[in-house]
């Protein structure tokens, strides 16, 4: 499959949601969905990395739950008219300016 | 700015993280970061849509906090070797098959 | 059943956990559990109050999920040696001093 | 201070909230508050236990954030007419029956 732009993915989700009467959820329900999906991702991470590990673990479950969280985030962004690509560039720009000395650059260590 | 693919965005974040000694966080810390970012998004949604609204609201804050959440999700995906595009397509495929009758299609209503 | 103090409840949970080899989880796993339980509470709240309501709703599920979240919070508090009663009094004290004018007192309105 | 029952604590919070016009928040805003408080607790846990530790850490912050989360949980329980003591006993009862073999009892190991 040819790689698609993030904007194309947001439109794909919009076309999917647009088929249904229910449409996007109101903002607080979107948050509740995000909390639900984060909880499910959390459960899978515990199964794989927790100190009481599950005997049989399906590593693909983390990918599935991440996909659900990402889908919900895209829905919320679409409902708010936010381009996630712009939102991400804003973050990266903040890191390259305001937070640029927050972490240790690899070349900086001279111990 | 030319639209970029999601894979390019994941690589961009990887290049950013790769500059620093600290690298990606372990899985449970990634979850903790996601919970922190969801909490901050949650606070901004309350400010804008809550029943006790803030007088002065910066609507751009929701975009900022969504950006932070998205960045953290990309970090977690990168650390796990997950392509978010694949994860999303898996979700959309599930919706089009298993969950296809979960919602009300627009053409279906005859009231 | 005679009402018990919060400290007695914390000890009861401690006695329960103390029976098992696994003991309390490390801090980041406790957070992950809290996120998981909040997610489950979130799902039940959507079922009862969401704009696409479930046909059959068990109102007791919210109580069950709140119980799970509370149990996990007590575990975390116990593992950290925190008395939740003290933690709560600290919050109430903050509200009565620093935040005392944050909300509208009932007697204050003269419209 | 004499130890108080959980029911007395719920009433104390109710008396506090009852002073204000705003009253309890609707269910989805309560969830949003819980997510916000969990996010703040999460941030403090990262400061104390994260692999990039803060130089100066106030251990009392975890107690403060746990107090805020507990306060919000009590508010939600009060708004729903739920006695947290009952909710907790329901959980403990489930553990002692349905889940009683989920963990390893201390006396069971013979290695």
To the nearest whole Å, the CA of C28 is away from the closest chain B CA by 6
Q: Which residues contact D109 (CB under 8 A, 6 or more apart)?
A: C21
Its CATH architecture, for the domain C6-100, is Orthogonal Bundle (1.10)
Q: What is the ipTM of this complex?
A: 0.90
**C36, C52, C75: best mutation site toward chain A, by most A Cβ within 10 Å?**
C36
Q: What are phi and psi of A20, to 5 degrees?
A: -110, 150
What would the pLDDT profile of A59-95 be if each residue is shown by its tens digit?
799 999 999 999 999 999 999 999 999 999 999 999 8
Tell me which CATH code domain A6-98 carries: 1.10.287.1080
Q: Where are the domains of chain B?
A: 6-101
CB atoms within 10 A of CB D89: 16
Q: Is the pLDDT score of D1 beyond 60?
A: no
Q: What's the pLDDT band for B43 if we cut at 50, 70, 90?
A: very high
Tell whether domain B6-101 is in CATH 1.10.287.1080.
yes
> Least CB-CB distance to A35: which of D29, D31, D103?
D31
Match 């300016």 to its residue by tokens.
Answer: A97
Q: What is the pLDDT at residue C90?
A: 94
> Least CB-CB distance to D28: which of A29, A52, A103?
A29
Select from 3.40.50.300, 1.10.287.1080, 3.30.70.1230, 3.40.50.720 the CATH code of D23-99. 1.10.287.1080
> Least CB-CB distance to C31: which of B35, B52, B103?
B35
Longest CA span, chain A: 62
**Smallest CA–CA distance from C104 into chain B, residue:** B52
Q: What is the pLDDT at residue A2?
A: 67
The model's pTM: 0.91
To the nearest whole Å, the CA of A98 is away from the closest chain B CA by 14
Return d(Cα A40, Cα A47) in angstroms, integer.
11
CB A63 within 8 A of CB B81: no
CB A13 within 8 A of CB A71: yes
What would the pLDDT profile of D47-78 be if each residue is shown by its tens digit?
999 987 666 777 799 999 999 999 999 999 99
D83: left (phi > 0), else alpha (psi -120 to 50), else beta?
beta
Average pLDDT over residues C40-69: 89
To the nearest whole Å, the CA of B19 is away from the closest chain D CA by 16
CB-based contact A105 B4, cutoff 8 Å:
no
Return d(Cα B52, Cα B45) in angstroms, integer.
11
């Amino acid at each position: 499959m040819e790689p698609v732009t993030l904007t194309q993915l947001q439109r794909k989700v919009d076309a999917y949601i647009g088929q249904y009467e229910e449409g996007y959820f109101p903002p607080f329900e979107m948050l509740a969905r995000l909390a639900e999906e984060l909880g499910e991702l959390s459960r899978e991470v515990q199964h794989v990395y927790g100190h009481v590990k599950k005997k049989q673990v399906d590593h693909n479950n983390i990918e599935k739950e991440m996909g659900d969280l990402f889908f919900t985030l895209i829905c919320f962004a679409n409902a708010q008219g936010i381009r996630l690509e712009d939102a991400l560039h804003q973050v990266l720009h903040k890191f390259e300016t305001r937070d640029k000395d927050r972490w240790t650059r690899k070349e900086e260590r001279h111990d």
